Structure 1
Amino acid sequence: MTIAQHKVVTVHYKVVDVETATVIDSSEGGEPMTYLHGAQNIIPGLENALEGKQVGDEFEVTVAPEDAYGDYSDERIQVVPVAAFEGVEQVEPGMAFTADTEQGPVNLIVTEVTDTEVTVDANHPLAGKSLQFSVTVEAIRDASDEEVAHGHVHGPDGHHH
């Protein structure tokens, strides 16, 4: 069986920031990742590289920012009044928040705080980074009709309702 649309795929992986050679994440010594192929559950560059692979295949792929978490954009940095954080005892750099916007929820990271203003960054933490993945395909199976309808894996390896 090969990886294609509507297959449930299980992989072990390691992802490294190409620029710094820092390991960002790895399933080594832990549970592999299971996802529904073709449902946009993983970054496009990795999903494209997995297409057509079979159980036992091992490979490396470097994914450019535009096929991962996008380019870094200064336009996604905003300065807002401290009052926008009403109810938060103390706002500090590094804190993460979700803002409800007209386009839906947006994840924000606080980067700077003054007495009156808070600078927030809506870029994904990995935006602008090229990522190198080392992947081993562990398992492939057909997705159930329910998994396809819901757009994600159910059961022991995935989402539970």
Structure 2
Amino acid sequence: MEIAKNCVVSIDYTLTNDKGELLDSSPEGQPLVYLHGAAGIIPGLEKELSGKAVGEEFEVTLTPEEGFGERRPDMIQTIPRNVFPEPEQVQPGMYFNAQSNDGQQSVQIVVTEVTEETVTVDGNHPLAGMTLTFHGTVQAVRPASEEELAEGHPL
């Protein structure tokens, strides 16, 4: 069976940056599982996987636009430190969930700088602005169940 819309797909992968540094990989024996065509993975990788079958290897290099987008300066904000429930505990590198400006979705932000009065947070995806290379193997492909299609992800 070839990968097509409404298939549940399992892949093993490694992800490197344009310097060849390993950024991420699927743990051994724990492939990434997603519903093809349901926006569960980045578009450039999903496009590369279309038409592949079990056992096929893939390698694709994605520009920032095909991956996690360019870094956006408007996603970096400096806010008063006292808006945090425990302001004295806030440190660079901490992650928080916040609402987008329109209140329509939850976004993950990372603290990048802390002063006595303010906290600078960055809502960009950590891989935004990077050229990324995925290399891997298709481990499994099957039709999605009705329930999976209704939920929009594998169960």
TM-score using structure 1 length? 0.90
Matches within 5 A, 1:39-78: 39-78=38-77
Q: Measure, in 2, the Cα distance between the counterparts of 1:73 and 1:11.
A: 30
Residues 81, 87 of structure 2: 8 Å contact kept: no
Secondary structure (helix, strand or coil) at the match of 1:65 reads: coil
**Cα separation, 2, equivalents of 1:88 and 1:53:** 50
* Contact 1:9–1:139 (Cα < 8 Å) also in 2: yes
Shift of 1:15: 0.6
In the other structure, the counterpart of 1:14 is 14
* Residue 107 of structure 1: how far off its partner (Å): 1.2
- Cα separation, 2, equivalents of 1:33 and 1:105: 22
SS of match in other structure, 1:66: coil
Cα distance in 1 for partners of 2:118, 2:17 equals: 32
Structure 2 equivalent of residue 4 of structure 1: 4
Give the partner amino acid of 2:98. Answer: A
Q: Distance in 2 between the 1:30 and 1:131 partners?
A: 23
The Cα of 1:103 is off from its aligned counterpart by 3.1
Backbone CA RMSD of aligned residues? 1.3
Q: Kindly indicate whether the alpha-carbon contact (under 8 Å) linking 2:49 and 2:58 is maintained by their aligned counterparts in 1.
A: no
For 2:88 and 2:147, locate their aligned partners in 1 and report how far apart those are by CA, in whole Å. 43
Structure 1 position 86, deviation (Å): 2.6
Residues in 1 aligned to 2:87 and 2:36: alpha-carbon distance in whole angstroms: 39
The C-alpha deviation readout for 1:52-101, integer Å capped at 9, x for no partner, is 11111112100111111110011111000011113354110000011134
Q: In the alignment, residue 34 of structure 2 is paired with which amino acid?
A: Y
Aligned to 1:125: 126
Query: AA paired with 1:48?
Result: K
Secondary structure of 2:65's match?
A: helix
Partner of 1:8, secondary structure, is strand
Deviation at 1:17, TM superposition (A): 1.1
CA–CA distance in 2 between the matches of 1:148 and 1:83? 43
Question: Residue 48 of structure 1 aligns to a residue in which SS?
Answer: helix
Q: Secondary structure at the match of 1:78?
A: strand
Query: Are the counterparts in 2 of residues 10 and 137 from structure 1 also a CA contact under 8 Å?
Result: yes
Q: Distance in 1 between matches of 2:14 and 2:121?
A: 29
Name the structure 2 match of 1:159.
Answer: none
Question: Is 1:81 the equivalent of 2:80?
Answer: yes
**How high is the sequence identity, in percent, across the aligned residues?**
50
Equivalent-residue separation in structure 2 for 1:4 and 1:56 (angstroms): 16
Task: Write the letter of the residue equivalent to 1:114.
Answer: T
Q: Secondary structure at the match of 1:107?
A: strand
TM-score, normalised on structure 2?
0.93
Structure 1 counterpart of 2:9, which letter?
Answer: V
